[in-house]
A and B are shown apart, each in its own frame.
Chain A
């Protein structure tokens, strides 16, 4: 349901980046950046293909800032941002956007919360007024707070509680990440929902929602000269309010090698996942991140990955997936998931995944080539571009970072990919087994 407020769950959080190898000196994105005196960073990316603009605002806060015992606070606030301000009544934000032909959505992740509208260029000013208004003037009623909590409970039932593999994934994160905030579900737990009050939400809003803690991306049929006066007019008048925060200190997960097994009365297929805590593009050991991107491509690529031959061609599994979640604050993760064919034991699949795989220079070369192809498609759609630019900026990666990504991939030496593969085995790791009740594994 694409009209709903999305949250990016763990496995879906990885971005797939693809850049062309023939990029050379020319820049990929037609982007410009400026900062208002109240601290709001603004990124403009021109694309005049159609008279449409995407306005996307990013707040540097997400579920990692949920108070203890109150998981789901950041996500519930995201829902309540549609419930009225001092001048706009509850629900009217969406009504005005809709009446003007706009499409909107929002999402909460570990590290950020984002809101966007795709709208015809001549209505952008309206969307800007509304977005700036709710940055400074949110005002929802107690009744709406309680109703929206019920909606979020239904969202949790749909996404997590109705799906045994999602429940297992939640437990997996708890064990793997320990005291690290990534152990906690973005959507929150049923138990914690009961202890979140409307005051908690308002406090969270006051602490984290301000121009100096946000990045605004305008992508599409707009120039910087058109953007500056509009942004000044609507966002410029909001006072900065963020107190200087201490740098976030994350509790390092223990170097566990562990597994959890779950039997479900309803599942009908056997599945196995493996998750490793790895460097990210932001962590201290970020120099290794490009090598993990390449490694993931070597192991996981559709049809071409190493596990395709071993698991699918030999009919041990009907599907497998390997993703690298490297664009997150602090540590990233590498995740493998496999659905075994009915006559195959998950322990046999696990044994295969634990075995060393031979990675050749040709494998690395081919994987690099695939990783950097196909960029034309990336910047075709202004929403995709806004998403990419916003995410990079909110994670603190420099404006030029996105341009240098292809070179970074191409420059990774073979030895470093081998090193990454060796290191992977020393990182914290958890294996999960999900089997139908009554079936031994």
Chain B
């Protein structure tokens, strides 16, 4: 039988947690931990000076490429809000001599994925292909980056879709609350005003889009990650062919820094006729480059991370039944990082939900965390690390984002060590630094009672 995806991707988990709570020692099966090896990416530098991180996997039939460009929707001019969103939707649409239909047929029939997205402060491009079709795939990627056509019809379609999205988002309490929250916190800074606007969309034309491409996909802003069945020599040549003709430098203005200052407060914006309210909450966080970033990463998991075992989920969902979901996340924006949370509750329960979140915050701030809680959380974070290697394209995106975040090339090997080095003193110090309940700010959208 053909082993279609067989990759010698070995991982190291250098730390083995206590494998189960002591109370279940007699019940749970004993585990024999195994050691895995993590790959180190190779730094590939092309003759024209384009660099990429590569993990070569000789037994896979796939090549995955991920590209990050370091400018996002926040770099859109004030009068053109929504430009990046519309532009990325058109990039893999009509390119070179291919019409949208021709290109879609070619991509589907050859099983090549090509997609572009716009984030708040970066753009992403991803390409996946079979080894067999790599030449064609890299050629299409190059055309998408250098020769998007932006025909009048396709621009009109993309603008209509973006306008529809604005209308749909206006009745979604989650989105409305998020935008309000960002506006309250960041005021006139681009982070508070990067959302697509009707007038911004309407002003977009072909000339503006062409200019956007030249300024946003430039060599000085690119970070490239590649995973799959391709070697250094071949990738080096393809890097030049694909990216060699991109402009060297962008003319974009730098985003100014912003100091996040919040006070304990609840702002309510009424959105009628909906039975459930949405809330975003948060306060100043830390940037990726901050010495406390990894400690806050662990604390985020502990207080509001993806599992139902987080403090907020345990209290607000499991013990009180007030919500279906409450989560937090680090939002390490480069020029004004924030720590953000999100929840929904029935209009008549939102006040209680907010109280419960504030109580957890105060408890964490006043009492700190315990060694056991910290170790349990670290053991989830280190133990689940292999799951981030579950697909080639995920891994390629990971490699691009590590470069964008200025990490060392041996990050994959040192990541769990960094997590394990976090002590209870670090955790409690960062709790005092970040989780001051007097700064926890809420924005609620809906018709919540008693707020």
**A34 in the interface, Cβ–Cβ < 8 Å?**
no
**B287 in the interface, Cβ–Cβ < 8 Å?**
no
- Determine if B156 and A315 form an interchain contact, defined as CB atoms under 8 angstroms apart: yes
Give chain B residues whose Cβ lies under 8 Å from the Cβ of A383: 390
**A361 in the interface, Cβ–Cβ < 8 Å?**
no
Q: List 27 A-B contacts (CB under 8 A).
A: A1-B325, A3-B327, A4-B325, A27-B2, A49-B6, A92-B24, A96-B24, A98-B307, A101-B380, A101-B384, A123-B31, A157-B275, A157-B346, A158-B324, A162-B275, A162-B276, A269-B168, A303-B104, A318-B157, A318-B163, A319-B161, A370-B109, A375-B111, A376-B61, A376-B62, A377-B62, A379-B5
The interface centre, meaning the residue of A102, A122, A319 with most chain B CB atoms within 10 A of its CB, is A122
- Determine if B171 and A4 form an interchain contact, defined as CB atoms under 8 angstroms apart: no
In the assembled complex, how far is the CB of residue B390 from the closest CB belonging to chain A, in whole angstroms?
Answer: 5
- Determine if B111 and A376 form an interchain contact, defined as CB atoms under 8 angstroms apart: yes
What is the number of residues of chain A that contact chain B, defined by CB distance less than 8 Å? Answer: 84
Give chain B residues whose Cβ lies under 8 Å from the Cβ of A162: 173, 274-276, 344
Give chain A residues whose Cβ lies under 8 Å from the Cβ of B173: 162
- Determine if A373 and B24 form an interchain contact, defined as CB atoms under 8 angstroms apart: no
Enumerate B136-177 residues with CB–CB distance to A below 8 Å.
Answer: 153, 156-157, 160-161, 163-164, 167-168, 170-171, 173
- Determine if A315 and B160 form an interchain contact, defined as CB atoms under 8 angstroms apart: yes
**Can you add 14 more A-B contacts, CB < 8 Å, to A87-B27, A376-B61?**
A1-B327, A3-B308, A4-B324, A50-B9, A50-B386, A50-B390, A52-B390, A147-B319, A266-B171, A313-B153, A315-B160, A318-B163, A376-B62, A380-B391
Contact with A along B313-338 (1 / 0, CB 8 A): 01001111111110100000000000
- Decide: A380 near B5, CB < 8 A? Known: A157-B344, A266-B272: yes
**How far is B6's CA from A30's CA once the two chains are assembled, in angstroms?**
11
- Determine if B387 and A121 form an interchain contact, defined as CB atoms under 8 angstroms apart: no
Name which residue of chain B comes closest to A153, CB basis: B346
Give chain A residues whose Cβ lies under 8 Å from the Cβ of B110: 373
In the assembled complex, how far is the CB of residue B231 from the closest CB belonging to chain A, in whole angstroms?
Answer: 19
Give chain B residues whose Cβ lies under 8 Å from the Cβ of A264: 273
Give chain B residues whose Cβ lies under 8 Å from the Cβ of A164: 171
Contact with B along A370-405 (1 / 0, CB 8 A): 100111110111110000000000000000000000
Number of A-B pairs whose CB atoms are under 8 Å? 249
- Determine if B128 and A150 form an interchain contact, defined as CB atoms under 8 angstroms apart: no
Give chain B residues whose Cβ lies under 8 Å from the Cβ of A304: 101, 104-105, 108
- Decide: A91 near B308, CB < 8 A? Known: A154-B276, A154-B345, A377-B62: yes
Give chain B residues whose Cβ lies under 8 Å from the Cβ of A122: 31-34
Enumerate A134-158 residues with CB–CB distance to B below 8 Å.
Answer: 146-155, 157-158
Give chain A residues whose Cβ lies under 8 Å from the Cβ of B157: 312-313, 315, 318
Of the stretches B11-19, B40-48, B206-214, B359-367, the one at the interface is B11-19
Of A123, A146, A319, A370, which one neighbours B321 at CB under 8 angstroms?
A146
Give chain B residues whose Cβ lies under 8 Å from the Cβ of A96: 20-21, 24, 28
**A88 in the interface, Cβ–Cβ < 8 Å?**
yes
Name which residue of chain A comes closest to B27, CB basis: A87
**How far is B376's CA from A263's CA once the two chains are assembled, in angstroms?**
51
- Decide: A47 near B5, CB < 8 A? Known: A103-B384, A373-B110, A374-B111: yes
- Report, as a range, how many residues of chain B touch the other chain: 35 or more
In the assembled complex, how far is the CB of residue A243 from the closest CB belonging to chain B, in whole angstroms?
Answer: 30
- Determine if A92 and B386 form an interchain contact, defined as CB atoms under 8 angstroms apart: no
Of A161, A269, A369, which one neighbours B276 at CB under 8 angstroms?
A161
In the assembled complex, how far is the CB of residue B165 from the closest CB belonging to chain A, in whole angstroms?
Answer: 8
- Determine if A380 and B392 form an interchain contact, defined as CB atoms under 8 angstroms apart: yes
**A15 in the interface, Cβ–Cβ < 8 Å?**
no
**A125 in the interface, Cβ–Cβ < 8 Å?**
yes
**How far is B128's CA from A99's CA once the two chains are assembled, in angstroms?**
33
- Decide: A370 near B161, CB < 8 A? Known: A91-B309, A101-B379, A102-B384: no
Give chain B residues whose Cβ lies under 8 Å from the Cβ of A28: 4
Of A20, A51, A126, A148, which one neighbours B19 at CB under 8 angstroms?
A126
- Determine if B111 and A20 form an interchain contact, defined as CB atoms under 8 angstroms apart: yes
In the assembled complex, how far is the CB of residue B69 from the closest CB belonging to chain A, in whole angstroms?
Answer: 24
**A357 in the interface, Cβ–Cβ < 8 Å?**
no
Give chain B residues whose Cβ lies under 8 Å from the Cβ of A51: 10-11, 34, 36, 386
**How far is B104's CA from A312's CA once the two chains are assembled, in angstroms?**
15
In the assembled complex, how far is the CB of residue A223 from the closest CB belonging to chain B, in whole angstroms?
Answer: 12
The interface centre, meaning the residue of B273, B321, B349 with most chain A CB atoms within 10 A of its CB, is B321
- Determine if A157 and B276 form an interchain contact, defined as CB atoms under 8 angstroms apart: yes
- Determine if A125 and B31 form an interchain contact, defined as CB atoms under 8 angstroms apart: yes
Give chain B residues whose Cβ lies under 8 Å from the Cβ of A339: 164
**How far is B20's CA from A125's CA once the two chains are assembled, in angstroms?**
12
Name which residue of chain B comes closest to A90, CB basis: B318
**A239 in the interface, Cβ–Cβ < 8 Å?**
no
**B130 in the interface, Cβ–Cβ < 8 Å?**
yes
**A265 in the interface, Cβ–Cβ < 8 Å?**
yes
Of A103, A146, A318, which one neighbours B387 at CB under 8 angstroms?
A103
**A246 in the interface, Cβ–Cβ < 8 Å?**
no
**How far is B1's CA from A92's CA once the two chains are assembled, in angstroms?**
40
**A9 in the interface, Cβ–Cβ < 8 Å?**
no
- Determine if B272 and A154 form an interchain contact, defined as CB atoms under 8 angstroms apart: no
**How far is B271's CA from A266's CA once the two chains are assembled, in angstroms?**
9
Give chain B residues whose Cβ lies under 8 Å from the Cβ of A123: 19, 31, 383
**A26 in the interface, Cβ–Cβ < 8 Å?**
yes
- Determine if B167 and A269 form an interchain contact, defined as CB atoms under 8 angstroms apart: yes
Give chain A residues whose Cβ lies under 8 Å from the Cβ of B385: 101
Enumerate A1-23 residues with CB–CB distance to B below 8 Å.
Answer: 1-4, 18, 20
**B256 in the interface, Cβ–Cβ < 8 Å?**
no
**A95 in the interface, Cβ–Cβ < 8 Å?**
yes
**A422 in the interface, Cβ–Cβ < 8 Å?**
no
- Determine if B391 and A148 form an interchain contact, defined as CB atoms under 8 angstroms apart: no
Give chain B residues whose Cβ lies under 8 Å from the Cβ of A26: 1-2
**A341 in the interface, Cβ–Cβ < 8 Å?**
yes
Of B7, B308, B344, B349, which one neighbours A82 at CB under 8 angstroms?
B308
- Decide: A126 near B383, CB < 8 A? Known: A51-B10, A154-B346, A158-B324: no
Contact with B along A317-360 (1 / 0, CB 8 A): 01100000000000000000001010000000000000000000
In the assembled complex, how far is the CB of residue B163 from the closest CB belonging to chain A, in whole angstroms?
Answer: 7
**How far is B111's CA from A369's CA once the two chains are assembled, in angstroms?**
10
**A206 in the interface, Cβ–Cβ < 8 Å?**
no
Give chain B residues whose Cβ lies under 8 Å from the Cβ of A341: 160, 164
Enumerate B245-274 residues with CB–CB distance to A below 8 Å.
Answer: 271-274
Give chain B residues whose Cβ lies under 8 Å from the Cβ of A150: 321-322
**B389 in the interface, Cβ–Cβ < 8 Å?**
yes
Give chain A residues whose Cβ lies under 8 Å from the Cβ of B386: 50-52, 101, 120
Give chain A residues whose Cβ lies under 8 Å from the Cβ of B344: 154, 157-158, 162
Name which residue of chain A comes closest to B305, CB basis: A3
Enumerate A39-74 residues with CB–CB distance to B below 8 Å.
Answer: 46-52
